[in-house]
């Protein structure tokens, strides 16, 4: 195995691994600071923050160091490479580099949105000098408040790492951004009349290590040190991007991609990034309701749930096909399991169906070439299937029903009048039934809707159960590739709504509290297709169902 | 843990001599103090509220929001005060400054709303310490009353009016006339800054005479 020596510590790397000094140092537990380098982008070595001493250990044991410092990001390591990142020479270079980067920086941290998660702040604190010797006026460039519909540029804060430029050239392929002028007058800009509005544009804000590129959506909403983050999964499409949910006092402020090589990589699309506003819209259902002949009977959780339980228990003798349960692909695996099991317990003849799977157009592949056609290799995919958990719900339905019944066939049966009772577990912000199809529900004797947003269909329902948005509940989503990832309750929903898992847990009359990890183990023991969930805690990156690792169930919670 | 008996030192009350046991010296000593006050004609009673006390300028009373030289609110909505506030009584909603308005050309951000709950506030002065532009200051107005809780929620207009009331009073000097973010953004009058942190003796670059040249 090739061995690299980082600050006198030998580190083994894989025989065919291609690492640079920064990555090798990371293996050794050392950090080499860097701004312009990003593992998903090409190397430019322009920020000079990662300068280190590099040398080689010869087979005879002598070490020959290069006389000059080398940028760690641009220097590949091989067997015998020696890296020194903590010598006096390197520390002095880091100090000088930071002083240069801050020469024209306005130091307006108090009004900068990046303050608190800023690379310049962190490195100045760790590697910088703490004061400036500049006595000349700073070179201040005017702000450009229209880089794109969602992006604004504070030109004076930029350190010219060109991560954003490389992102639009290499990952999105749309190449809207560029560097104009030379030397100290360098600026990031867009090509005239070509705003950065591609579907991955929001990522340049995350890539920006300083507060130059800011998201207009989040601008001045919160100071970042007030935000509390929870790991979650984007529900926007079946790619299932790993994200963090950032909230303060139960108000969701932003979603950020979380690096997960098993899911999507380092990025996420703007549809997901900005598409969560429905979760805080005033269309949210906020109180349960029991109706009879159009009149409200109760809006109290205890009353509604217990009378729903008795009503459903009375259905036990219904004939086959008269009781249909539709589980939307927006439900988590746990919710699908609880509802399917409950329905089959109440009435073994209950028919389980998959809620409508919304698809929009074709899979959108990036990078694009100049004609807008996807070019290989694909770096990011926005999938046409706009639901997060079709595979997970299908696995549950296959186990309980033996087949996956599409929602269209259920709707046909409902229209013909052969269905008496329909229980819909929704969650799709676009709704589970089109407005034109709502009259088809008229023949139902009993309609139970558990959903996120109010709709004409929920206005008709005999029982309405206000559920929670994905950011407000614990559970599991299985993405297009069979990767099961955990979502976590990041914030509380509106008063009166409850996490769907809890509603179904109480409805099924189980004792105790809804606990996703224990429920995952129960599911894994019953459904072979989901056996990989037996670990309970799916960790940061999730567990692949296809490579079902047979591990002993761990006690959780 | 029980106290070790070895650590305890017992002290006996000193015994009184003959004169002390008559208590007469102590009685005359007390009468002497009384006599001194009889002869002293300086009154110590304060006639509040007819006479207001003369408070020092560092007294911490009701807040004010200072105005800059253009009459705008000086606050840049950085929310450092709200972060520093131990009572969490400051609520700020920020907004980006109007881009096309030349009046706001030098500002990125300003407070759309700025509310201090004067009932929650403990008047510790941390907000004043935290403010990077010396916008929020505590005046020596101490006799604050209100008929309702809502009245004690001081919004931006009310806090600015406190500034207008107090800026000319001798006890509430406007401590700074700088409206910008610290020294570094004060381009016209830029001077070399002293080290914010201590310089290590082995810091070669800090000792260099000109930037970037390391001996």
The reply to whether A513 touches chain B by the CB within 8 Å rule is no
- Over residues B76-134, the pLDDT tens digits come to 999 999 999 999 999 999 999 888 888 888 888 999 999 999 999 999 999 998 988 88
Which is more confidently placed, B212 or A440?
A440
Chain B hits for A154, Cβ within 8 Å: 108
Chain A hits for B195, Cβ within 8 Å: 129-131
The answer to whether residue A450 scores a pLDDT higher than 60 is yes
CA angle A223, A225, A227 (to 5 degrees): 85
The reply to whether B83 touches chain A by the CB within 8 Å rule is yes
B189 in a domain, yes or no?
no
Q: Which of A284, A306, A329, A322 is nearest to A479 (CA)?
A: A329
Helix extents (H) in A385-463: 390-400, 407-416, 456-460
The answer to whether residue B180 scores a pLDDT higher than 90 is no
B204 in a domain, yes or no?
no
Q: In this predicted complex, what is the ipTM?
A: 0.82
* Range of lowest pLDDT (A353-367, A461-475, B30-44, B184-198): B184-198
Burial A78-113 (b: 16+ CB within 10 A, else e): eeebbbbbeeeebbbbbbbbbbebbbbbbbbbbbbb
Preceding omega of A175 cis (within 30 degrees of 0): no
B53 in a domain, yes or no?
no
* B190·A135 Cβ contact <8 A: yes
Q: Which of A33, A395, A457 is nearest to A209 (CA)?
A: A33
The reply to whether B105 touches chain A by the CB within 8 Å rule is no
Report the residue of chain B nearest A98, measured CA to CA: B212
* DSSP string of A92-124, one letter each residue: HHHHHHHHHHTTT----GGG-TTTTS-HHHHHH
Residue A236's pLDDT is 93
Structural domain boundaries, residue B176: 63-183
Chain A hits for B132, Cβ within 8 Å: 110
* B196·A131 Cβ contact <8 A: yes
- Over residues B120-147, the pLDDT tens digits come to 999 999 999 898 888 999 998 998 889 9
* B204·A107 Cβ contact <8 A: no
B9 in a domain, yes or no?
no
B91 in a domain, yes or no?
yes
Residue B33's pLDDT is 94
- Over residues A340-387, the pLDDT tens digits come to 999 999 888 889 999 999 999 999 999 998 888 998 889 999 999 999
Check whether domain A113-275 has CATH 3.30.70.20, yes or no: yes
Report the mean per-residue pLDDT for chain B.
Answer: 83
Mean pLDDT of the region A130-153: 86
Residue A320's pLDDT is 72
The reply to whether B76 touches chain A by the CB within 8 Å rule is yes
Residue B199's pLDDT is 56
The reply to whether B178 touches chain A by the CB within 8 Å rule is no
pLDDT tier at B176 (50, 70, 90 boundaries)?
Answer: low
B23 in a domain, yes or no?
no
Residue A162's pLDDT is 95
- Over residues A166-192, the pLDDT tens digits come to 999 999 999 999 999 988 889 999 998
Chain B hits for A220, Cβ within 8 Å: 77, 94-96, 109
Q: Is residue A482 left, alpha or beta, with left meaning phi > 0 and alpha meaning psi from -120 to 50?
A: left
* CATH topology assigned to domain A3-99: Ubiquitin-like (UB roll) (3.10.20)
The answer to whether residue A391 scores a pLDDT higher than 80 is yes
* A108·B181 Cβ contact <8 A: yes
B210 in a domain, yes or no?
no
Total of domains in chain B: 1
Residue B203's pLDDT is 60
What the block records as the tokens of A158 is 């930029």
The reply to whether B214 touches chain A by the CB within 8 Å rule is yes
* A107·B193 Cβ contact <8 A: no
Probe site for chain B from A97, A104, A108, A156 (most B CB atoms < 10 A): A108
- Distance from the Cα of A127 to chain B's closest Cα (Å) equals 12
Q: Name the pTM for this structure.
A: 0.84
pLDDT tier at B198 (50, 70, 90 boundaries)?
Answer: low
* DSSP string of B150-163, one letter each residue: GGGEE-HHHHHHHH
* A145·B195 Cβ contact <8 A: no
The reply to whether A249 touches chain B by the CB within 8 Å rule is no
Beta bridge partners of B95: B110
pLDDT tier at B215 (50, 70, 90 boundaries)?
Answer: very low
- Over residues A37-69, the pLDDT tens digits come to 999 999 999 999 999 999 999 989 899 999 999
**What does the domain layout of chain A look like in residue ranges?**
3-99, 113-275, 289-517
Report the mean per-residue pLDDT for chain A.
Answer: 91
Chain B hits for A103, Cβ within 8 Å: 211
Measured between CB atoms, which of A111, A129, A225 is closest to B205? A129
B30 in a domain, yes or no?
no
* CATH topology assigned to domain A289-517: Rossmann fold (3.40.50)
The reply to whether B194 touches chain A by the CB within 8 Å rule is yes
Measured between CB atoms, which of B109, B193, B195 is closest to A111? B109
The answer to whether residue B175 scores a pLDDT higher than 90 is no
The answer to whether residue B36 scores a pLDDT higher than 80 is yes
The answer to whether residue B185 scores a pLDDT higher than 70 is no
Percent of chain A beyond pLDDT 70? 98
Question: Where residue B102 sits, what CATH number does that domain have?
Answer: 3.30.70.3270
């Amino acid at each position: 195995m090739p061995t690299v020596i980082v600050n006198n510590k030998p580190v083994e790397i894989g025989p065919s691994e291609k690492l640079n000094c920064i990555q090798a140092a990371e293996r050794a537990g050392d950090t080499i600071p860097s701004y312009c380098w990003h593992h998903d982008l090409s190397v430019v070595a322009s920020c000079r923050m990662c300068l280190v001493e590099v040398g080689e250990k010869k087979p005879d044991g002598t070490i020959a160091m290069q006389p000059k410092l080398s940028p760690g990001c641009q220097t590949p390591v091989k067997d015998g490479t020696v890296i020194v990142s903590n010598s006096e020479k390197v520390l002095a270079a880091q100090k000088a580099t930071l002083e240069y980067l801050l020469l024209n920086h306005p130091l307006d941290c108090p009004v900068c949105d990046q303050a608190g998660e800023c690379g310049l702040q962190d490195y100045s604190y760790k590697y910088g000098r703490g004061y400036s010797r500049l006595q000349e006026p700073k070179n201040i460039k005017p702000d450009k408040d229209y880089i794109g519909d969602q992006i604004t540029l504070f030109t004076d804060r930029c350190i010219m790492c060109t991560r954003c430029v490389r992102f639009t050239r290499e990952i999105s392929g749309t190449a809207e951004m560029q560097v104009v002028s030379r030397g100290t007058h360098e600026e990031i800009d867009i090509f005239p009349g070509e705003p950065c509005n591609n579907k991955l544009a929001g990522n340049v804000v995350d890539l920006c290590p300083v507060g130059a590129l800011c998201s207009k959506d989040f601008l001045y909403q919160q100071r970042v040190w007030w935000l509390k983050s929870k790991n979650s999964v984007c529900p926007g499409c079946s790619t299932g991007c790993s994200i963090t949910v950032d909230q303060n006092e139960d108000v969701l402020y932003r979603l950020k991609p979380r690096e997960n090589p098993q899911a999507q990589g380092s990025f996420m699309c703007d549809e997901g990034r900005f598409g969560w506003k429905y979760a805080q819209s005033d269309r949210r259902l906020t109180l349960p309701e029991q109706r009879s002949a159009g009149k409200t009977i109760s809006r109290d959780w205890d009353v509604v749930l217990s009378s729903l339980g008795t009503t459903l228990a009375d259905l036990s003798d219904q004939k086959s096909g008269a009781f249909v349960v539709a589980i939307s692909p927006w439900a988590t695996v746990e919710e699908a399991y609880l509802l399917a099991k409950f329905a089959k317990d109440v009435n073994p003849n209950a028919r389980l169906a998959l809620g409508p799977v919304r698809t929009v157009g074709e899979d959108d592949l990036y990078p694009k070439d100049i004609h807008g056609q996807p070019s290989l290799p694909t770096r990011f995919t926005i999938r046409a299937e706009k639901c997060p958990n079709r595979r997970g719900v299908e696995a549950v339905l296959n186990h309980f029903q033996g087949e996956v019944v599409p929602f269209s066939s259920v709707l046909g049966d409902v229209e013909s009048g052969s269905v008496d009772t329909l229980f819909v577990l929704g969650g799709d912000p676009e709704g589970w039934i089109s407005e034109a199809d709502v009259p088809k529900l008229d023949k139902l004797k009993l309609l139970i809707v558990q959903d996120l947003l109010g709709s004409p269909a929920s206005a008709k329902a005999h029982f309405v159960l206000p559920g929670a948005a994905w950011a407000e509940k614990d559970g599991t989503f299985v993405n297009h590739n069979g990767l099961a990832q955990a979502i976590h309750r990041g914030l509380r929903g509106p008063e009166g709504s409850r996490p769907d898992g809890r509603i179904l847990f109480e409805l099924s009359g189980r004792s105790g509290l809804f606990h996703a990890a224990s429920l995952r183990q129960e599911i894994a023991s019953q459904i072979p297709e989901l056996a990989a969930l037996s670990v309970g805690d799916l960790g940061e990156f999730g567990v692949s169902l296809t490579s079902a690792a047979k591990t002993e169930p761990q006690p959780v919670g | 843990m029980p106290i070790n008996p070895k650590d305890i030192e017992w002290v006996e009350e000193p015994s009184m001599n003959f004169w002390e046991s008559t208590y007469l010296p102590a009685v005359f000593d007390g009468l002497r103090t009384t006599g001194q006050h009889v002869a002293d004609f300086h009154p110590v009673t304060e006639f509040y509220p007819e006479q207001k006390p003369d408070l020092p300028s560092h007294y911490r009373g009701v807040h004010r929001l200072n105005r800059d030289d253009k009459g705008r609110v000086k606050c840049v909505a950085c929310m450092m005060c709200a972060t520093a506030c131990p009572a969490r009584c400051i609520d700020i909603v920020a907004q980006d400054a109007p881009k096309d308005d030349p009046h706001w050309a030098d500002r990125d951000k300003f407070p759309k709303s700025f509310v201090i709950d004067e009932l929650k506030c403990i008047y510790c002065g941390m907000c004043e310490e935290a403010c990077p532009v010396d916008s929020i200051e505590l005046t020596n107005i101490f006799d604050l009353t209100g008929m309702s809780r809502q009245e004690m929620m001081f919004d931006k207009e009310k806090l600015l009016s406190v500034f207008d009331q107090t800026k000319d009073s001798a006890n509430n000097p406007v401590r700074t006339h700088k409206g910008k973010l610290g020294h570094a953004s004060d381009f016209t009058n830029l001077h070399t800054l002293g080290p914010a942190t201590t310089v290590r003796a082995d810091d070669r670059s800090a000792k260099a005479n000109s930037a970037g040249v390391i001996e």
